[in-house]
Amino acid sequence: MQPDAKREASRWQEQAERDIDDARYCLRGNRFNLACFMAQQAAEKSLKAFLYASGEEEPWGHSVADLCREAGDRDGDFRNLHPEVAPLDKFYVPTRYPNGLPGGIPSEAFSADDAKGAIEMAGRVIALVETKIESR
């Protein structure tokens, strides 16, 4: 049974907003790698919210770049956003796993600037998706 598109979009967007709030919390606690990862997660979930709202039955994948490209097929504003937010993908694996880095550990590899940039990028995604969902 296909989920109700509006309800499913709302659930995913609500979690995206919670994830970006968690990213900000991690930034304040100097957990920069986790802040970066949570920002990536926020953008990913928000893009999935848009895709649900656009009629996609089950958006799949973890790449912000790919999801933004797919969203761009439905709305050109996402094509314009793509180059600004695609760098979030670099925060998916290396922020969590030591073998995702050439040396060291994730908790030592990311900075406050990384976290602030990631949160800013994710915020752009969330804001655009919110506007697009509201207009549907």
- The confidence score (pLDDT) of residue 39 equals 98
- The confidence score (pLDDT) of residue 96 equals 97
Please write the tens of the pLDDT for every residue from 101-116.
Answer: 999 999 999 999 999 9
- The confidence score (pLDDT) of residue 57 equals 85
Please write the tens of the pLDDT for every residue from 10-63.
Answer: 999 999 999 999 999 999 999 999 999 999 999 999 999 999 999 998 899 999
How many Å apart are CA 117 and CA 136, to the nearest integer? 29
What residue segments make up the domains of the chain, in order of their start? 5-134
- The confidence score (pLDDT) of residue 133 equals 93
CATH placement of domain 5-134: 1.20.120.330
How many Å apart are CA 14 and CA 94, to the nearest integer? 26
Token reading at 11: 């659930």
Please write the tens of the pLDDT for every residue from 84-104.
Answer: 999 999 999 999 999 999 999
